[in-house]
Amino acid sequence: MLHSETERKVYEEILLQLHDIVQQNNLRPGDKLPSERDLSETLNAGRSSVREALRALELLGLIETRRGEGTFLKHYRHNRLIDILGMFVLRDVKTKKDLVEMRKILEIDAVRLACKRATSKHFEEMERILAHAEERIANGEVPTEEDYQFHRVICRSSRNSVLHRIWAPLVEYSESVRNESLSREGRARTAVDEHRGIMEAIRSGDEQSAVEKMLRHLDNSKL
């Protein structure tokens, strides 16, 4: 589809700018994107380049074209919007740093609340997730999904729905980064051990220990 480094950079830049347009205009699934001509003028890019980027997004299931109506956003839960755009947006060092910082803020508060509010059901779920992670590591796989699910249970055990709703898209957005971190030699094994330590600290209601263990875990993750 793309035949040179220059074309690839133009293509990536268009994807980033399309993402900005969606954000700035607060577009939601089902909303209509600007026309190809308008995008070409807004992005100061050739129509062929814009068309190529839109075609790629459509093939990936991120947008849909309706004949005679235009191009519309599709719901991200039914595709890989977050992962795909994340690969581009997270190349920006400042954005990556801000995401890590925000994740720490949310997860530390989640841990504090979990020490007071987590129930036996939450701990049973954590145990199941850790067991699945162990199995995947034994099979030579990277337990990226189990890592996500473990942290998700902690956020849910805070029993603060707003905190969880903010946390979920933030961490989903950085999946490619988490996978890279867990793929480091020995990191998956160590991460599971750290998860278990966090769980036990929460179970005992030791807020200070739970916070310290979570901070150490996030620092070691090198997200």
Per-residue pLDDT tens over the stretch 112-167: 999 999 999 999 999 999 999 999 999 999 898 899 999 999 999 999 988 988 88
Question: What percent of the chain is modeled with pLDDT above 70?
Answer: 81
Digit-coded pLDDT (tens) for 4-45: 445 555 667 777 788 778 777 888 888 898 898 998 888 888
Q: Is residue 151 a contact partner of residue 221, using CB atoms and an 8 Å limit?
A: no
At 24 the pLDDT is: 79
Sign of CA dihedral 215, 137, 127, 168: positive
Q: Is residue 143 a contact partner of residue 136, using CB atoms and an 8 Å limit?
A: yes
Weakest mean pLDDT among 76-80, 123-127, 194-198: 76-80
At 91 the pLDDT is: 58
Query: pTM of the entire structure?
Result: 0.61
Residue 3, pLDDT > 50, answer no
Mean pLDDT for 172-196 is 83
Q: How far is CA 40 from the centre of its chain?
A: 29
